[in-house]
Chains A and B, each alone.
Chain A
Amino acid sequence: MGSEEMGDRVFQHRNSSNILNCPSSVMATTSISDNVAGMSICSESMFKPPNGIDPFYSSGWDPVISGDQSGNFGNSSMVLQNEFTNPNYPVLLENQTMGSSSHLVHFPSDSGLVGMVPKIPSFGSGSFSDIVSSFGHSNFPQNNGAGVQNAVKNVEDPQDHRQDSENGVLGASPNGKRKRKNVEVEKQKDQTGDTVELQKEYDEKKNVGSNSRGRQAVKEAKDNSSGAEASKENYIHVRAKRGQATNSHSLAERVRRERISERMRLLQELVPGCNKITGKAVMLDEIINYVQSLQQQVEFLSMKLATVNPELNVDIERLLSKDILHSRGSNATALGIGPGLNSSHPFQGLPQGTLNAFPGTAPPFHSLPQNLWNNELQNILQNGFDSSPSVGSLGPNGLSKMEL
């Protein structure tokens, strides 16, 4: 059937499994099989020239797209009226839509529902992502949305159509628009490249000045709560604590600040010697110094590697195992041996952890007995390098006894 073929071409993305399942599930699960049949027939008429614009689409959508389905209004509305009887309509709606791919939501009044009105996909033009994005609402279960978003991503350029969908729902509830934008951005954050990052930055900056419900919708998307809520209340309430301002701006600011401080705490654990530091500026300075020092170490090491001429018949496997075991050793000496290695070292100002991991031409470490080494080897063979770091390296002599 033509629609299924087109569906397969569209849904070739790696996460398309749930969407590919949708047609079958639609056939199986919905109780409106006659309407579904009607839908599949109607979907073939998608590429008819527009016969007119439904007044419902006066919110500024692409007339070509909206006009495609003018002949299908009756079927669609009947289908969807059946679906809207239960509060879990978003899930069914999504299944329905993705299955037939020629849906219309025909409910003008409710603000939450209006936000979900899809555009009609005419494959090859821009609106399929809009249908999807209008379902990328926070009213929408997030795993489904992610799959749908992924499928869309391959079809179109996401940035254009994100903006399209933004324009499209301007007339609808502003909450819906902002939520959808945030949710789209949040979901596609890790998938597309710089464009998404830019868009997210743009959205974040916009939302600093937006109302608190927009920000809460972002929170909701992140918290994975899905659409069993009432149609209008699509967001979590962030409760202001006692004595804090309840202004919407400050709520958004507070969320942002919490996120940033959480990341700063993570970084504080990563950068050695920063436990006592409180304050963002000093912390940032430390982080910058640490990153610079690590990069310098890499350069120094590569310089030394350039001068070294290794034996040409080095076995990669042996090298690898020695590497990992060596790394256990260098970790241990970072804990144990300490100051003796620092004096000949160029990086004086650094905390000891990094310095000890960077011996350069330092002598081998004679630290720990051989039975610990045995345990280490066994652990590594079992777990794949998950053992404790307290085993020292015995230097090359010890290793040559131990290997094989």
Chain B
Amino acid sequence: MKNPTTNPSSSMIRTRFAVRFLHAMKKLNKKTPAPSPYRRRFHTIRAAACASMACAVGPRKAWSRAILKKIRARTLHHYLINKSRNQQMMMIKRGNPRDEELAVGFGYGEEDDLRGLVPGGEGMGFCRLLSETAHYIKCLRAQVQVMTNVLDHYSST
């Protein structure tokens, strides 16, 4: 069975993601080279992977929008933490209503799990959730492939 991800659209996504991710890695390696704490690098790399995937997809899909929103809120959050503490933090936490309260599940246990897995999956109907999941799976697969290749390249040279 041929690998279904070799159609043009997924290779586009893969290219876009690869470019962004590599730029982020470059920047990261300049700032904090490998011997420094792995934990911090790990978190940054994971965040960079998610962010570059979301940017590569763009705001067309609900899950990428959710990721971008989360990241922007978090960077704003960090920024304001550095500036001043109390009130602004509270405002941000309140003012970014994640749609957990608005979840409309139909009572399947698995469906709620799926909503928890797919970013931004809380506030949409089941049908929409399924199409978002399909696209998300495609992009996750592309992400894994690219990161594998990057890792191969780094470890071999």
Contact = CB atoms under 8 A, between A and B. Distances in A.
Interface in B102-151: 102, 104, 108, 110-111, 113-114, 117-118, 120, 123-128, 130-131, 133-134, 136-138, 140-141, 143-151
Interface stretch (A26-34, A101-109, A116-124, A303-311): A303-311
Given A305-B25, A309-B35, A263 B130 contact: yes
Interface stretch (B42-50, B76-84, B86-94): B42-50
A288 B123 contact: no
Given A288-B113, A395-B156, 16 more contacts: A197-B62, A197-B123, A198-B123, A204-B125, A205-B104, A287-B137, A292-B117, A298-B143, A310-B29, A319-B22, A320-B19, A324-B18, A331-B5, A357-B144, A360-B151, A396-B156
Most buried by A among B2, B118, B153: B153
20 contacts: A193-B65, A197-B128, A201-B104, A263-B134, A266-B131, A267-B134, A270-B4, A281-B108, A287-B133, A291-B114, A306-B41, A307-B34, A307-B38, A310-B154, A316-B26, A353-B3, A354-B144, A357-B145, A386-B11, A395-B156
B23 interface: yes
Contacts of B114: 284, 287-288, 291
Contacts of A6: none
B30 A312 contact: yes
Nearest to B46: A302
A56 B55 CA distance: 50
B156 A364 contact: yes
B15 interface: yes
A290 B150 contact: no
Interface string A188-231: 00100110011011001100000000000000000000000000
A205 B125 CA distance: 9
